Structure 1
């Protein structure tokens, strides 16, 4: 891995289940009207960073979010099932209030009945990012279009955080992103989290 490569992890745009506060997991819910607008806006911004590769979850909400960036940049989107959201088991399709009512203890620990362990999510997402980096040149930027919990789990693994400390990384808004870059000593460090705008030097640089 070259010392200057960066990874930008982009959460998908809003869906109707996001708006209804339903647990999506791996249910394949499309973007709603606002989610499409969010994805278009994010794509226009992120294209100014001149990414070198795009990889995405194959679930529609992430795949379609990545497609807007593909249109802006001309880059082909590669799909990787390892970037899917955490499988939600018995919780998929239920609202947050329904989950709290039926499984108060499990909800407090985020232990989903018949769901996927966060450790497994962290491993597969980190593996997918490492695989995708092989296509990124020196000084390059990889954009990863995925899902909120999956991104946080993967970043925690990449930065060496224990999974019980993953809440150190707060939630990601729809079509917000986090960026990591390499440490000189090896591993990754967080450069941005839950961002929805570009650094000023990027904007000014394009206008000069």
Structure 2
């Protein structure tokens, strides 16, 4: 939280994009601009219909088309414009982008064990980048506003950890987001946030994405 923010009753909805072909193939997407597939577009429409019940007042998205198009499904129902922030793009996967989980394990066993893509971003870098973008957006949100942010699995989980002030050694305790599922944070009286829902919108299932060594498990 920044010092200028007046505590209110803000809510923040962190919404992962719908399914892509690379999700189905368990390929690391990172900053590669992979579009939604037909299932992903259907997921976005279904989730958007549910999210309207939260009465969002602002929409923000990663400019990568899989997140931007997910956000647009909610914009079509609410009439709200979608703003885009490049700091919300997915983790830079370096040489892992386009590789399957099996290929990463085979070619980069040491790096895979600590989930650090060669030539890519560290978890701490992603957490700071995305967390700062979320803080910036919250500063512009009225005290009773509801901000929906459409972004990516690893980016959202790490940004969430940053926003909650969790120490890095605890980040792996927070599970990932399934395609088109979301987490909700509600503002506390001191201006901080608490996590009130996580990975909402689905029954428990494997999470396929760019979000750590448990991907595809």
TM-score by structure 2 length? Answer: 0.88
Q: Is the 8 A contact 1:11 1:146 kept in 2?
A: yes
Superposition deviation, residue 165 in structure 1: 1.6
Give the equivalent residue in structure 2 for 1:13. Answer: 18
Give the equivalent residue in structure 2 for 1:178. Answer: 183
CA distance in 1, matches of 2:98, 2:35: 14
Give the equivalent residue in structure 1 for 2:98. Answer: 93
Give the equivalent residue in structure 1 for 2:215. Answer: none
Count how many residue pairs are aligned between Structure 1 and Structure 2.
197
SS at match of 2:143: coil
CA distance in 2, matches of 1:107, 1:183: 37
The alignment status of 1:116 with 2:121, answered yes or no, reads yes
Give the equivalent residue in structure 2 for 1:34. Answer: 39
Superposition deviation, residue 154 in structure 1: 0.3
Report the more deviating stretch, 146-155 or 118-127: 118-127
TM-score by structure 1 length? Answer: 0.91
CA distance in 2, matches of 1:54, 1:135: 12
Between Structure 1 and Structure 2, which shows a larger proportion of helix residues?
Answer: 1
Q: Is the 8 A contact 1:52 1:137 kept in 2?
A: no
Give the equivalent residue in structure 2 for 1:201. Answer: none
Superposition deviation, residue 183 in structure 1: 2.8
Unaligned runs of 5+ in 1: 198-208
Unaligned runs of 5+ in 2: 203-217
Give the equivalent residue in structure 2 for 1:54. Answer: 59
Superposition deviation, residue 90 in structure 1: 0.6
